[in-house]
Amino acid sequence: MTNVLEVLARWGGVSRRGNLLRDGVSRSDLEYALESGAVIRPSRGIYALADADPVLVRCASTDSLLTCVSAAKAHGLWVVREPQEIHIQRSDGRFSSGRAVVHRQSWVPPSPRSHVASQADVLLHALRCLPELEALVMVESAIQQGFSREFLLERLPGHRNATARRVIDAVGAGADSLIEVLAREHLRRAGLQVRTQVEVEGVGWMDLLIEDFLDLETDGRTHNEPVQRAKDYRRDRSAQLRGYEVLRYTYSDVVDRPEAMVAEVKRAVARRRSLGLAAPA
């Protein structure tokens, strides 16, 4: 039975019977694993570990690959929202098991034994499927990992891919989180000058520097911890003593209420300019 579990693990926890037999699993071992409960048979010809990811089981059962936003986390990419529907890749475009968004085209084959599309296909599908900002955070996180921007651009020619190319052109450098990317883009689209990851002596790294005087910080979960919160208070005081305005926003502020964030930043910028205060040196 150990052999069955090891082979299934190499297949991501789920596989067709024929694949397991070709990998050396005997029919008797497979039946014994079923009887013991260590392995389940969710559909005809499909075998899975008892704790296998049900989404991957569904893909294996339908000869599909997980892709687009549904496969983002499998490739270590940022995701703004969990999808309500599963995104799968099938060359024939058919999917008979529940609701799904089906992507047909493939540019790069997946890794052997994988039930997840290649990172290239995942990104290209996202660029042609998702809202611009949701695609942007996925692509920017991939490019930060070393994925080629040029590779994506070369595969998105023509007028129909103009929006996808615009997303790629918006990719920046140095963002620490998806909320930093979203905040940057919302503010730039509002006509504000934004610089990212600016180092200021005596303060440290600012997430976003707006119009050269407003330090905007985007706070993830770690900022709720007492030690981190105390550090944040100290750096904010340092920034303010050097003449910077400071505003902090949470994940919910940036993702769920971006219009309110932009309006507050614009008010802070307008107030500063009305006072005639110069940007800090």
Q: How far apart are CA 109 and CA 124, in angstroms?
A: 13
DSSP assignment of 182-215: HHHHHHHHTT--EEEEEEETTTEEEEEEETTTEE
- Spell out the residues 6+ positions from residue 233 whose beta carbon is closer than 8 angstroms to its own: none
Q: For the chain, which domains are there?
A: 2-60 (1.10.10), 62-169 (no CATH), 178-274 (3.40.960.10)
Q: In this predicted structure, what is the pLDDT of residue 91?
A: 80
Q: Name 149's Cβ contacts closer than 8 Å, sequence gap at least 6.
A: 143, 168, 171
Helix (H) or strand (E) holding 230: helix 226-241
Q: Contact 133/97 with Cβ under 8 angstroms?
A: no
Residue 96, pLDDT > 60, answer no
Q: What residue has token string 């600012």?
A: 206
Q: Convert the pLDDT of each residue in 2-33 to its tens digit.
A: 589 999 999 999 999 999 999 999 999 999 99
d(CA 188, CA 208): 11
Q: Could you report the per-residue pLDDT of 188-238, keeping only the tens digit for each?
A: 999 999 999 999 999 999 999 999 999 999 987 655 667 778 889 999 999
Residue with tokens 């802070």: 268
